[in-house]
Amino acid sequence: MKLVFAGTPEVAVPALDALLASGRHEVAAVVTRPDAPAGRGRRLVASPVADRAEEAGIEVLKPAKPKDPEFLERLREIGPDCCPVVAYGALLPRVALDIPAHGWVNLHFSLLPAWRGAAPVQHAIMAGDEITGASTFLIEEGLDSGPVYGTVTEEIRATDTSGDLLTRLAFAGAGLLAATMDGIEDGTLKAVQQPADGISLAPKVNVEDAHLDWSAPALRVDRMVRGCTPAPGAWTTFRGERLKLIQVTPVPDRTDLAPGQIAAGKNNVYAGTGSYGVELLWVQAQGKKPMRAADWARGVRIGEGERLGG
């Protein structure tokens, strides 16, 4: 088939690579978000998908909005049979959805209908799920509600951050998306409507959502930290300044600390929760680089009875 691939961040690059390497389909163009300011100088930078497409000599389309007439006209001129999508980042209007004969097929990082929305991996970890995966589905105008072509499953490990898990799913999902394109082309794959039961939503996790509640159980604190790493970053406050927590681990036998109470030894730093303690392993103080929690604690000289979170 002739394909136009839509995607923007680094997590979409493995899927583009898989389609380029398949040898069975032609990736005629790539659609991605416009260049965005990045870094200290805030200079405009192309998306990872745009960079990869340019390396491969593929036409790159960067519409401000996918309903722009110039973009729609160019898409009609290309005449794709199907448009595979991975984390494109913009809502596709009906007029765009109708252009390819086989529609737009999205690779979504959950087992639909679980975790429909922008942050499925973060929510799966924060909810304590043991299994997740990726799904390919036909995009409709509803939120991740279209019929599903195929899935792959992935275990959520006890120490997984959302970054760890998303990286694994990006590569597993790349193979699924390529296989889905093959099945659509040869007619062996039919999309199946999602069940009405088991729907859960995964909206974007913002900075305020990542504010830790020390009255929550230790397992909840650990899941919040892992789910919000690397972005937006779980955080608390210490002496009125924000402190980001990068890695913690539950310590069931540490039951002597009140929620938020912090205790530092020579090589270990602990904080109390609503159940038992957690050990702080890596932290990032405001305006500082990430560091081992023990090094941070030595620098700030924690007093007896001091607390995280005010």
The verdict on whether omega for the bond into residue 230 sits within 30 degrees of 0, i.e. cis, is yes
> Mutual orientation of helices 48-55 and 13-22 as an angle, nearest 10°?
20
Annotated binding-site residue numbers: 110-113
Distance between CA atoms of residues 78 and 94, nearest Å: 18
Cβ 19 vs Cβ 28: under 8 Å: no
The closest alpha carbon to 294, from 310, 282, 306, belongs to 282
Distance between CA atoms of residues 110 and 123, nearest Å: 10
Q: Largest Cα–Cα distance in the chain?
A: 70
Torsional class of 165: left (φ above 0), alpha (ψ -120 to 50), beta (otherwise): alpha
292 Cβ neighbours under 8 A, 6+ residues apart? 281, 282
Find tokens 């504010």 and name the residue: 211
Instruction: Extract the tokens encoding 112.
Output: 């639909």
271 Cβ neighbours under 8 A, 6+ residues apart? 214, 248, 257, 260, 261, 262, 263, 277, 278, 280, 308
Number of other CB atoms surrounding residue 175 within 10 Å: 15
Annotated binding-site residue numbers for (6S)-5,6,7,8-tetrahydrofolate: 110-113
